[in-house]
Amino acid sequence: MDADTDQEQGRRKGRRGGGSDARRDRRKGGGMESQRFITRKLKPYELLSEEGLALIERNADIVLREIGIEFRGDPEALAIWRDAGADVDGERVRFPEGLCRSLIGTAPATFVQHARNPERSVEIGGDSTVFAPVYGPPFVRDLEGKRRYATIEDFRNFVRLAYMAPAMHHSGGTVCEPVDVPVNKRHLDMIDAHVRFSDKPFMGSVTHPDRAADSVAMAKIVFGEDFVDRNCVLINLINANSPMVFDETMLGALKTYARAGQACIVTPFILAGAMAPVTAAGVLTQTLAEAMAGMAFAQLCRPGAPVVFGSFASSISMQSGAPTFGTPEPALVLYGATQLARRLGVPFRSGGGLCGSKTPDAQAAYESLATLNPTLMAGVNFVLHAAGWLEGGLVSSFEKFVMDCDQLAMLQRFAEGVDLSENGQAMDAIREVGPGSHYLGCAHTQANFETAFYRSPLTDNNSYEQWEAEGARRIEERANDLVRKWLADYQQPALDQGVGEALDDYIRRKKDSMPDAFT
Amino acid sequence: MDADTDQEQGRRKGRRGGGSDARRDRRKGGGMESQRFITRKLKPYELLSEEGLALIERNADIVLREIGIEFRGDPEALAIWRDAGADVDGERVRFPEGLCRSLIGTAPATFVQHARNPERSVEIGGDSTVFAPVYGPPFVRDLEGKRRYATIEDFRNFVRLAYMAPAMHHSGGTVCEPVDVPVNKRHLDMIDAHVRFSDKPFMGSVTHPDRAADSVAMAKIVFGEDFVDRNCVLINLINANSPMVFDETMLGALKTYARAGQACIVTPFILAGAMAPVTAAGVLTQTLAEAMAGMAFAQLCRPGAPVVFGSFASSISMQSGAPTFGTPEPALVLYGATQLARRLGVPFRSGGGLCGSKTPDAQAAYESLATLNPTLMAGVNFVLHAAGWLEGGLVSSFEKFVMDCDQLAMLQRFAEGVDLSENGQAMDAIREVGPGSHYLGCAHTQANFETAFYRSPLTDNNSYEQWEAEGARRIEERANDLVRKWLADYQQPALDQGVGEALDDYIRRKKDSMPDAFT
* Torsion sign, CA atoms B388, B393, B396, B400: negative
**Cβ of A361 and B361 within 8 Å?**
yes
Using CB atoms, which residue from B318, B363, B461 is nearest to A453?
A: B318
Say what the pLDDT of residue B320 is. 87
Q: Which residue has better confidence, B336 or B6?
A: B336
Cα distances (Å, whole numbers) of residue B132 to A189, B173, B259? 53, 9, 24
Q: Which residues of B touch A287 (CB under 8 A)?
A: none
* Inter-chain touch A403–B366, beta carbons under 8 Å: yes
Q: Is residue A108 part of a domain?
A: yes
In angstroms, the separation between the Cα of residue A178 and the nearest Cα of chain B is 20
3 state SS of B432: helix
Burial class from Cβ neighbours inside 10 Å (0-12, 13-18, 19+) for residue B462 reads middle
Q: Which residues contact A135 (CB under 8 A, 6 or more apart)?
A: A172, A173, A174, A175, A203, A237, A384, A385
Q: So what's the pLDDT on residue A33? A: 61
**Domain assignment present for B498:** no
Using an 8 Å Cβ cutoff, are A204 and A233 in contact?
no
Residues of B in contact with A336 (CB under 8 A): 418
Tell me the CATH number at B392: 3.20.20.480
> Which of B272, B325, B370 lies closest to A369 in CB terms?
B370
User: Contacts of residue B316 in chain A, CB cutoff 8 Å?
Assistant: 453
Asked whether the beta carbons of residue A328 and residue B414 sit closer than 8 angstroms, the reply is: yes
A457 contact residues in B (CB cutoff 8 A): none
**Residues B329, A357: C-beta atoms closer than 8 Å:** no
Cβ separation of A280 and B418 shorter than 8 Å?
yes
Residue B33 has a pLDDT of 61
Q: Cα–Cα distances in Å, from A48 out to A280, A327, B484?
A: 11, 18, 40
> Residue B488 CB: number of other CB atoms within 10 A?
7
Sorted by sequence, the CB contacts under 8 Å of residue B370 that are 6+ apart come out as A369, A373, A407, A410, B325, B326, B327, B331
Using CA atoms, how far residue A95 sits from A64, A83, A100, A345, A447, in Å, is 5, 12, 7, 20, 62
Neighbours of A168 (CB within 10 A): 28
Q: Closest residue of B to A472, CA-based?
A: B358
> Which DSSP state fits B449?
H
Which residue does chain A place closest to B325, by CA atoms?
A461
Nearest CA-CA distance, residue A49 and chain B, Å: 10
pLDDT at B235 exceeding the cut of 50: yes
Q: Percent of chain B, pLDDT > 90?
A: 91
Is position A477 within any domain?
A: no
Mean pLDDT, residues B257-280 taken together: 97
**B368 φ, ψ (degrees, to nearest 5):** -65, -45
Partner-chain contact A452 B318, CB within 8 Å: yes
Q: Helix or strand or coil: residue B386?
A: coil
Q: Which of B42, B243, B329 sits opposite A437 (nearest CB)?
A: B243
Q: Kindly state whether residue A109 falls inside one of the protein's structural domains.
A: yes
DSSP 8-state code for residue A63:
I
Spatial contact of A377 and A347, defined as CB atoms under 8 Å apart: no
Q: How far is A374 from chain B (nearest CA, A)?
A: 9
* Cβ within 8 Å of residue A484, ≥6 positions away: A143
* Among candidate residues B268, B275, B70, the one with its CA nearest the CA of residue A433: B275
CB of B192 closer than 8 Å to CB of B202 = no
Long-range contacts formed by B499-502: CB under 8 A, 24+ apart: B499/B195, B499/B221, B499/B222, B500/B196, B502/B221
Measured in angstroms, the CA of A264 and the nearest CA of chain B are apart by 22
Note down the domain range covering B349: 100-416
User: For residue A272, which residues of chain B lie inside 8 Å, CB to CB?
Assistant: 452-453
Contact at CB, B453 and A318, closer than 8 angstroms: yes
Coil, strand or helix at A237: strand
pLDDT tens digits, one per residue of B194-230: 999 999 999 999 999 999 999 999 999 999 999 999 9
| B85-100 average pLDDT score | 98
| Domain membership flag for residue B372 | yes
Vertex B18, ends B15 and B24: CA angle to 5°?
110
What does pLDDT average to over chain B? Answer: 93
Q: What local confidence, expressed as pLDDT, does residue A34 receive?
A: 63
A268 min Cα distance to partner chain B (Å): 13
CB pair distance less than 8 Å for A476 and B361: yes
Task: Output DSSP code: residue A65.
Answer: I
Pick the closest to residue A426 from B275, B347, B314 (CA basis): B275
Query: Is A435 in contact with B358 (Cβ distance < 8 A)?
Result: no
How close is the nearest chain A Cα to the Cα of B446, in Å?
A: 10
B328/A454 Cβ within 8 A? yes
Q: B282-306: per-residue pLDDT in tens? A: 999 999 999 999 999 999 999 999 9
Burial class (CB in 10 A: 0-12, 13-18, 19+), B244: buried
Interior/surface letters A71-80, b for 16+ CB within 10 angstroms, e for the rest: bbebeebbeb
Q: B326: burial class by Cβ within 10 Å (0-12, 13-18, 19+)?
A: buried
DSSP B390: E
In Å, what is the CA distance from A444 to each residue of A431, A438, B53, B282, B354?
A: 11, 12, 22, 11, 27
Name the domain count of chain B. 1
Q: What is the largest CA-CA distance in chain B?
A: 79
Q: Is the pLDDT of residue B83 over 80?
A: yes
Q: Please give the C-alpha separations between residue A353 and each of A40, A391, B407, in angstroms, as whole numbers.
A: 19, 11, 16
CA distance B303 to A356: 52
Q: In percent, how much of chain B has pLDDT > 70?
A: 93
**Cα distance between residue A206 and residue A212, in whole Å:** 6
User: What distances in angstroms separate CA B458 from CA A44, A372, B157, B207, B406, one per listed residue?
Assistant: 31, 20, 19, 36, 7
Say if CB A318 and CB A276 are below 8 A apart. Answer: no
Within-domain flag for A249: yes
Residues from chain B contacting residue A454 (CB–CB below 8 Å): 327-329
What is the radius of gyration, based on Cα positions, of chain A?
23
**Alpha-carbon gap: B363 to the closest alpha carbon of chain A (Å):** 6
Strand partners, A94: A87
Task: Give the distance from residue B247's alpha carbon to the nearest chain A alpha carbon, in angstroms.
Answer: 10
* Within-domain flag for B51: no
| Any domain includes B453 | no
Q: Do A278 and B449 touch (CB under 8 A)?
A: yes
Would you say how long chain B is, in residues?
A: 519
Question: What is the distance in angstroms between the Cα of A182 and the nearest Cα belonging to chain B?
Answer: 25
What residues in A contact B322, CB-CB < 8 Å?
A: 461-463
- Is the bond preceding residue B243 a cis peptide, omega within 30 degrees? yes
> pLDDT at position A320, please?
87
Among chain A residues, the shortest Cα distance to B241 is held by: A436
Asked if residues A186 and A481 have their Cβ atoms less than 8 Å apart, the reply is: no
pLDDT in tens, chain A (519 residues): 333 344 443 333 333 333 343 333 333 333 456 678 999 999 999 999 999 999 999 999 999 999 999 999 999 999 999 999 999 999 999 999 999 999 999 999 999 999 999 999 999 999 999 999 999 999 999 999 999 999 999 999 999 999 999 999 999 999 999 999 999 999 999 999 999 999 999 999 999 999 999 999 999 999 999 999 999 999 999 999 999 999 999 999 999 999 999 999 999 999 999 999 999 999 999 999 999 999 999 999 999 999 999 999 999 998 888 999 999 999 999 999 999 999 999 999 999 999 999 999 999 999 999 999 999 999 999 999 999 999 999 999 999 999 999 999 999 999 999 999 999 999 999 999 999 999 999 999 999 999 999 999 999 999 999 999 999 999 999 999 999 999 999 999 999 999 999 999 999 999 999 999 987
Give the chain A residue whose CA is nearest to the CA of B92.
Answer: A435
- Tell if the CB–CB gap between B280 and A358 is shorter than 8 Å: no
By C-alpha distance, the chain B residue nearest A432 is B67
Residues of chain B with Cβ-Cβ distance to A455 below 8 Å are 317-319
Alpha-carbon distance values, A341 to A254, A361, B33 (Å): 19, 34, 39
Show the 3-state SS of A475-516. Answer: HHHHHHHHHHHHHHHCCCCCCCHHHHHHHHHHHHHHHHCCCC
Query: Are A454 and B327 within 8 A, CB to CB?
Result: yes
Residue B25 has pLDDT above 70, yes or no: no
Query: Would you state the pLDDT for residue B27?
Result: 33
Q: Under an 8 A CB cutoff, do B362 and A361 touch?
A: yes
Interface test with B, best of A95, A453, A462 (most B CBs within 10 A): A453
Question: Which member of B285, B414, B420 has the closest CB to residue A331?
Answer: B414
Closest approach of B41 to chain A, Cα-based (Å): 10
